[in-house]
């Protein structure tokens, strides 16, 4: 059976992870966030006979890998979806002194558990942060973690959404004002990339060229960077210093497999 045929047979999907998969900064129906996982679920549902497709999104912003493993992975045993996506570890990598080798070991243990309860597992690498203020200094650590993730995928027969190689997200318009979460168009590009990784034919190209953008002067860029630091970076650092998370008291938006 081809990858395309296998994708058509996917009748249920559970998304696991943090704010990236929860879909922050991509407004959706009912005041909730949408995001790339919701968009991917829509693509899968459109190709399901009789539209009997079910979807759960267990992702919660701010979650570390071990929290995802303890809170979200066990629920997959009960849901037993045809497809699971696990995109996790980014919040761990951002922490000072974190070890990408150890994080990857925990990630693979989670994958092994998921494979017992899901037909197909897709994982995502981390983004290339070379153009991101502050985060560019973590680029080597992210690259190390990504190398581990690709090895995990090879060993365990996983599909991979390779975000590191997605050049379209190097454009500032792929990101929201906080520069930490994707814009709606950025989420759409990732959804298309994930669909391709699953063998799903897509009409749009995730790497399609962006329209011409206004050119900012050096002074404009400095002003933007200062505003971003005051509005987003300093509060983010403050939460880290206080041991707080943006996901404190936040529940998963779709905890059960329900029709779209």
Strand pairing report for 83-87 and 254-259 = unpaired
Contact indicator for 190, 182 with CB cutoff of 8 Å: yes
Helices (H) and strands (E) in the chain, counts: 11, 6
For the cut 50, the answer to whether the pLDDT of residue 131 exceeds it is: yes
Residue 153 CA from chain centroid, whole number = 16
Contact indicator for 62, 248 with CB cutoff of 8 Å: yes
For residues 110-120, one letter each, b for 16 or more C-beta atoms within 10 angstroms of the residue's C-beta and e for the rest, the string is bbeebbebbeb
Tokens standing for residue 173: 């318009």
Q: 250-260, pLDDT tens digit by residue?
A: 899 999 999 98
Q: 144-201, pLDDT tens digit by residue?
A: 999 999 999 999 999 999 999 999 999 999 999 888 899 999 999 999 999 999 999 9
> What mean pLDDT is predicted for residues 90-101?
94
Say whether 65 sits in a helix, a strand or coil: helix
pLDDT score for 216: 77
Tokens standing for residue 7: 């994708």
At residue 208's C-alpha, the angle toward residues 203 and 212, to 5°, is 140
Strand pairing report for 12-17 and 83-87 = parallel
Set out the domains of the chain in order of their start, with CATH numbers: 3-207+216-259 (3.40.50.1110)
């Amino acid at each position: 059976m081809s990858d395309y045929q296998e994708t058509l047979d996917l009748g249920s999907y559970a998304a696991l992870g943090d704010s990236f998969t929860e879909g922050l900064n991509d407004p959706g129906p009912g005041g909730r966030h949408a995001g790339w996982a919701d968009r991917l679920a829509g693509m899968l549902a459109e190709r399901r006979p009789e539209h009997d497709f079910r979807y759960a999104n267990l992702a919660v912003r701010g979650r570390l890998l071990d929290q995802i493993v303890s809170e979200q992975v066990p629920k997959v045993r009960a849901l037993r979806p045809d497809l699971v996506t696990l995109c996790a570890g980014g919040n761990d990598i951002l922490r000072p002194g974190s070890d990408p080798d150890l994080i990857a070991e925990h990630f693979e243990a989670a994958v092994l558990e998921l494979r017992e309860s899901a037909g197909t597992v897709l994982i995502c690498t981390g983004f290339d942060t070379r153009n991101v203020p502050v985060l560019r200094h973590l680029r080597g650590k992210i690259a190390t973690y990504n190398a581990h993730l690709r090895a995990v995928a090879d060993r365990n027969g996983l599909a991979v959404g390779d975000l590191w190689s997605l050049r379209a997200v190097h454009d500032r318009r792929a990101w929201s004002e906080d520069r930490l979460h994707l814009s709606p168009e950025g989420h759409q590009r990732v959804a298309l990339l994930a669909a391709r990784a699953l063998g799903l034919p897509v009409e749009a190209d995730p790497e399609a060229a962006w329209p011409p953008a206004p050119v900012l002067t050096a002074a404009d860029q400095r002003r933007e960077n200062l505003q971003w630091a005051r509005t987003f970076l300093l509060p983010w650092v403050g939460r880290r210093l206080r041991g707080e998370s943006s996901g404190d008291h936040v529940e998963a938006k779709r905890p059960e497999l329900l029709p779209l």
